[in-house]
Amino acid sequence: MQITFWGVRGSYPVPGASTVRYGGQTSCVETRTASGDTLIVDAGTGMRALGNKLSRESPQPRHHHVLLSHVHWDHIQGLPFFSPVYVPGTKISVYALLTAADELHQVIGGSTRHEFFPMPLEAVPAVFEFHQVEPGVEFDINGFRVAPIALNHPFGAVGYRIDGDGSSWAYVSDTAPFTDVLHKQHFLSGPEPLTEDDKLALAAMRDALVRRLVGVDTVVYDTHFLPDEYAKFPHYGHSTPDQALEICLEAQVRTLVLYHHAPTHGDDQMDRIAAEYRSQGAKRGINVVTSSEGMTLMVGPEGT
Ligand SMILES: [Zn+2]
Ligand SMILES: [Zn+2]
């Protein structure tokens, strides 16, 4: 199985001279089996270039499958610019967390209402289909086995373990560490004191994530913040590479991919982050790779 990164940024796109090497587009990853089955994970602005590539590869209408972690802008903004949407006969199945999917049609449709975008969802040639996913409930798409994983993010997010071709990888974005409850509180109000039930729920969420990652070859993880930045914004819903390493160490994952980079981290700083965590990972027996736009990784038991 291979994975290709079409957008590796969190929050908002950052085109410009300081991001040419790591890329400025927001979250979007394509995964592909040897037989050519593909899955798209997240629909950030990187999805536009992916759509153009898929259209060049196969001008015939196809059925695309898009797994969403959640519906924050940096994870859906590319969808209206995904060129297959405008090819009659195309079918697009969108999968998202139960809570979001209750209103997924309205959320995606709402973002393309005529005030915001010239072509509303109901008017595009492609046929959209929406599916709810539930953490722990696995399902199959073509040659892939998909297992959704609950994550700790404002109003909830879901990660995915994806198995195919005898190999596996996991997409763990967006998530904070499991120390504050984020899914039910307002962004500006910050964390409230934890109740005993909250602590149990967070511990269970963390345990379920670690258990799902056992046996996974490569983990792509939200490492938006450096530790000093995290200390200032603990309730923004993102992790540090240190927190990702800790989870990967417990799950005995051999390859960790840093992902969902802060838009404020330019190429030179990204080089320093990549070098620092490659060396920290090496000390723990984990191969740490820093994702960049356009990067393709082969995933397999023998390592990335
Ligand atoms: Zn995000
Ligand atoms: Zn988010």
185 pLDDT more than 70? no
Q: What is the DSSP string of 199-247?
A: HHHHHHHHHHHHHHHTT-SEEEEE----HHHHHH-TTSS---HHHHHHH
Distance 206 CA to ligand 2 centre (A): 18
Q: Tens digit of pLDDT for each residue in 228-283?
A: 999 988 878 999 999 999 999 999 999 999 999 999 999 999 999 999 999 999 99
192 pLDDT more than 80? no
Residues with Cβ within 5 Å of ion ligand 2?
Answer: 72, 174
| Helix, strand, or coil (residue 127) | strand
Distance 9 CA to ligand 1 centre (A): 8
Q: What was the pLDDT predicted at 190?
A: 59
Q: Which helix (H) or strand (E) holds 274?
A: helix 267-283
Structure-token pair, residue 250: 């417990």
Which of the ligands is closest to the CA of residue 74?
1
Average model confidence (pLDDT) across the chain: 93
Distance 235 CA to ligand 2 centre (A): 11
Global pTM reads 0.95
Q: Tens digit of pLDDT for each residue in 55-71?
A: 999 889 999 999 999 99
Which of the ligands is closest to the CA of residue 259?
1
Q: Tens digit of pLDDT for each residue in 26-66?
A: 999 999 999 999 999 999 999 999 999 999 998 899 999 99
Which of the ligands is closest to the CA of residue 151?
2
Which of the ligands is closest to the CA of residue 237?
2
Residues with Cβ within 5 Å of ion ligand 1?
Answer: 10, 74, 174
Distance 300 CA to ligand 2 centre (A): 28
Rg (CA), the chain: 18
